[in-house]
Structure 1
Amino acid sequence: MSDPPIRVLIVDDHPVVRSGLRKVLESEADIEVVGEAGDARHAVFETRAQKPDVILMDVVMPGKSGIEATPDVLHDAPEAKVLILSMQDDPNYVRQAFAAGAAGYILK
């Protein structure tokens, strides 16, 4: 009996980034992309609806940043792991992400 796939939510304000990540992730048999969101508000909605295992979250988005949205999504899916995806290599962003509850910080 195989393990269930890892359920992933992709959150990024750039559709081309979401599409590219989806293609790469869906090529793995043990990963299922369960949703996408282009901003923090939709990320919270999709988290409530899909209960992902992993949330790939961009930092810079319209409205709330991914760092600001991290506690919100974790409130609705406390078992989920938030991995911040960012072009920001400033250590302050990394510290803020971990303080907000992120499990990892990945540079794009």
Structure 2
Amino acid sequence: MISTAQRIRVLIADDHPVVREGLSSIIDHQSDMIVAARATTGAEAVCYCGALRPDVVLMDLSMPEMDGVEATRVIHKSCPETRIFVLTVYPGDASIAHAIQAGASAYVLKSAPVEELLAAIRTVHIE
């Protein structure tokens, strides 16, 4: 078993409870990952990142108070060591390019297989 200090700390930022809880359940079942926090808005994600310094953020693009692109920009500036994954439903969404320009490391489709998401988290964490 990996100690809590060695596990990949993941912040989930999504305004949909079902998505947050589903991602939390998936991550909590991984021996090398732990959910650091769950944010319901972009502004909350920024606050949690400043306080908790997670390794990885799973960021929804469309959230209230502050959208995912702006939250990505702020987090990337204040916590450059944190890797940010954009979560999106639409593969051709123009906001993906804006999020990458704002500092996101990559994007993952919400329709992607669970194994693909987990592999992406692990890969970006070791880079």
Partner of 1:42: 44
SS in 1 for 2:63: coil
Q: Partner residue of 2:89?
A: 87
The aligned amino acid for 1:79 is: E
Alpha-carbon shift at residue 94 of structure 1 (Å):
2.4
Segments of 5+ residues of structure 2 without an aligned counterpart are 111-127
Q: Take 1:74 and 1:97, find their aligned partners in 2: how far apart are those partners?
A: 10
2:45 alignment partner AA: A
SS in 1 for 2:37: strand
Normalised TM-score (structure 1) = 0.92
Secondary structure of the residue that 1:45 maps to in structure 2?
helix
1:28 alignment partner in structure 2:
30
State the Cα RMSD in Å.
1.4
**Cα offset for 1:97?**
1.5
Counterpart CA distance in 2 for 1:29 and 1:103 is 23
Q: Structure 1 segments of 4 or more deviating over 6 A?
A: none
Residue 59 of structure 1: how far off its partner (Å): 0.4
Residue 17 of structure 1 corresponds to 19
* Higher share in helix: 2
Deviation for aligned residue 1:77: 1.6
Whether the 8 Å CA contact 2:12–2:59 is kept in 1: the answer is yes
- Quote how far apart the aligned CAs of 1:13 are: 0.3
Q: For the residues of structure 2 that align with 1:50 and 1:11, how far apart are their CA atoms?
A: 14
Name structure 1 gaps, 5 residues minimum. none
1:76 CA drift (Å):
2.6
**Matched residues, number:** 107
Normalised TM-score (structure 2): 0.79
Instruction: Percent identity, please.
Output: 39
> In the alignment, what sits opposite 1:8?
10
Greater mean alpha carbon deviation, residues 53-62 or residues 68-77:
68-77
Partner of 2:122: none
